[in-house]
Structure 1
Amino acid sequence: MNVDYIIVGCGLAGISFCEKLKEQDKTFVVFDDSSQQSSIVAGGLYNPVTLKRFTPVWKSEAQLEVALPVYKKMEDKLGVSLDYKIPVKRRFTSLEEQNNWFAASDKVGLKPFLNTSLFDNANPKINADFKLGEVLQTGRLDTKQLSDSYKGYLLEHNLLVTDSFNHADLVIEDSGVIYKTITAKHIVFAEGFGIKQNPFFKDLPLGGTKGQLLTIHAPDLKLDYVLKSSVFVIPLGDDMYRVGSTYEQKDKTNTITQEARDMLLDKLKTFVDCDFQVVSQVAGVRPTVKDRKPLVGRHQTNQNVYLFNGLGSRGVMIAPFVANQLFDFIEKNVPLDQEIDCSRFF
């Protein structure tokens, strides 16, 4: 088989790059053994504001401008609903937080995204004495539906190999790469935290942050927006809500823990006052970088070997934007934004 690209990994990064290749009529094959869980267990929010500190997300306007049309195109192609427009409201715990919100709303990069009108809490099951602030241009992407549907699409078109990728079998030549029976011009590794087993990029400072989320059934909550307090509460429909997330630095497994469950429930009960039942708990390791920017670019010495990684907890927003940059870098020799180029760590 001869293709333009081999892609290793089919999370948000891999899917976004596949879409860019399809758009540009490039041929490819994807390897994914479902060992990485961060994309499918994500909350799926796209939110242009860091609500802990009221700061803008890096290049948020440009990211949304690129990402939302890509997801709409995938909805049409796959015949599924993925993008759910829903407000995000921040619960204030003091007058000081309200004042910080108003101060932030005048900052460059935040003005388009922060509603300067505060909202009274009208939900008797929510404790929010200091009102709520609304973030604009937000929503939720159903990342599990995207992953399942996109992998189904790739399988249907014989573009997905579900075997584990063995890096030792990759042969790198001046004109391209060879992997078993596949010859390609380029290979892009989009393995998420799996990069730690990748001999080409394993020394880059990708730490990995484990996140655990709960799904609860709460018939009396009747929440029609995403509520951000000490944890997020994300409506999923049918009185189901996703609650998260944890940020664990030491544990790098996909194993759920009672400790994380208890912590999330303790935080939830500080501002939600109704009965609910925990339906499920999931865990995954986010690919995070110490400077909170992606790791993208070319290997130091192997000119046909590329990296697309480090999307952290904001992969929904950033993946299509970075996919465009990586494609233009490979095919048109357009320099990457220095803030995301993995060469900053070489």
Structure 2
Amino acid sequence: MTQNKDTSYDYLIVGQGIAGTSMAWHLHESGKKILLVNDSSLPSSSKVAAGIFNPLTGKKLVKTWLADEIFPFAQNFYSGLEEKLDIKILHQASIFRPFRSIEEQNSYLAQTSDPGISRYIQSAEKQQNVPEHIHAPFGGMEVIQSGWVDLPLLLEKSRDYFSNSGQYLEAGFNTNDLKISEETVFWKGFNFTKVILCQGFNARENELFNWLPFTPVKGQILEIEIEKLKTNQIVNQGIFILPVSETHCRVGATYSWDPLDWQTTKAAAEELKGKLEPLLKVPYRVTSQLAGIRPSSHDRRPMLGIHPDHPRIGIFNGLGTKGVTLAPYFANQFTEYLEKHKELNDAVNIKRYFSLYFR
């Protein structure tokens, strides 16, 4: 952090994953003075996440919640940061979904008559060939308006930007260190108008919001090497195969709930390899394995809003597996709520859980 004598800020943002980083950018762009505090020694799901954005998910080809609004917003957000930070983080890439059977082929093709879904499917005449490295005897479907975001690079360059402007502090955080009054919030010699907690999985240990129904999910991915990969297409059939260079891919992801730790396991590696090998036509080599804990909620919707008893303390959490698209959109909505008093979407407002706090 650049040294200065300032001790007063509009906002303290705690946590620099995709939630905290998105909040920091939106508040900063709205003219607010922020201090972004983060402990880089702590594990972070955003550092592990593949960053894929996919408008059609699941075995039944379901359109992602609010995709028509969220996806364009996210792509504009990341494109803007590419220009501002002079980096490449947004990678447009279609997603090839191999059909498992003739029945699945017929079922999926029948769904393309739905205009809400067809807009995200490549027309037959523009469909690419089946990727050379993929086994797909029944063909497949190409999903468009998809791709991935290089989250580790985004977080690193955002941290550098805010550090250089005196708005980043590398430090641990404990809610017990907050001194909350009617006029301001004090923390370690600084004072703030509001505090926004964006702590991901670590929010479960936060006494102010531990009443929220967090349902975190552990996920593991493999990083593999394939010789002479000739496509940037993502493959999705039970697992994803994400090319990140001409020779390297990420493969994932597993889902588990016990134990909720950050350790990789042999069982998860075998599970992923068991799904990968029937898909691949070519040899591969595992180069590493990563684990993260997704900060999900009970109803699979983000959790944002203001504490019921402390109007200067807010939370932005519960982004789950789709944080790369949810974070920019709802960081913008939260900023407009905080600064312009615009209402939050009821589906994400933590007011839906106030009964858990007051019981």
Shorter-chain TM-score: which interval? Answer: over 0.9
Paired residues for 1:97-176 under 5 Å: 97-107=104-114, 109-115=116-122, 117=124, 122-176=130-184
In structure 1, the partner of 2:56 is: 49
Closer/same/farther in 2, CA of residues 220 and 275 from structure 1, 3 Å limit? farther
Give TM-score, length-normalised by structure 2.
0.92
For structure 2, list consecutive stretches of 5 or more residues without a partner in the other structure.
Answer: 1-6, 355-359
Superposed CA offset, 1:48-90 (max 9, x none): 1113221111111111221111111111222211001111111
Q: 1:120 to 1:82 in 2, by over 3 A?
A: closer
Checking the alignment, whether the CA contact within 8 Å between 1:220 and 1:275 is kept in structure 2 is no
Deviations 1:278-316 (A, max 9, x none): 111111100111211100111111001111011111111
Q: Percent identity?
A: 32
Q: CA deviation at 1:122?
A: 4.0
Amino acid at match of 1:14: G
Does the 8 Å contact 1:32/1:164 carry over to 2? yes
Matched, 1:32 2:69: no
C-alpha contact (below 8 Å) 2:302/2:318 kept by paired residues = yes
Residue identity matched to 2:202: G
Alignment counterpart, residue 16 of structure 1, candidates 7, 17, 22? 22
Quote the residue 2:97 is aligned against. 90
Task: Output the CA distance in 2 between the equivalents of 1:20 and 1:125.
Answer: 41
CA distance in 2, matches of 1:129, 1:274: 15
Offset at residue 117 of structure 1 (A): 2.6
More deviation in 102-111 or 51-60? 102-111
The 5-angstrom pairing of residues 291-310 of structure 1 reads 291-310=299-318
Displacement after TM superposition at 1:107 (Å)? 3.1
Shift of 1:136: 1.3
Task: Identify unmatched segments of 5+ residues in structure 1.
Answer: none
Alignment RMSD, CA only? 1.6
SS of 2:320's partner is coil
Whole-angstrom CA distance in 2 between matches of 1:57 and 1:124: 28
Amino acid at match of 2:258: K
- Residue 72 (str. 1) matches residue 70 (str. 2): no
> Given the alignment of the two structures, is residue 345 of structure 1 paired with residue 353 of structure 2, yes or no?
yes
Check conservation: 1:121, 1:128, Cα contact below 8 A: no
What is the DSSP-based 3-state SS (H/G/I as helix, E as strand, rest coil) of the residue aligned with 1:329?
A: helix
Q: Give the partner amino acid of 1:244.
A: G
Over 3 Å counting, the alpha-carbon distance change for 1:23 and 1:197 in structure 2 is same
Q: In the aligned structure 1, how far is the partner of 2:173 from the partner of 2:31? A: 25
The aligned counterpart of 1:217 is 225
Residues 220 and 108 from structure 1, CA distance in 2 versus in 1: closer, same or farther, beyond 3 angstroms?
A: same
Distance 1:75 1:242 in 2: 22
For 1:329, the equivalent position in structure 2 comes to 337
- Structure 2 counterpart of 1:53, which letter? K
The AA in structure 1 aligned to 2:118 is K
Choose from 242, 253, 262 the match for 1:245: 253
Alignment size in residue pairs = 346
Aligned to 1:274: 282
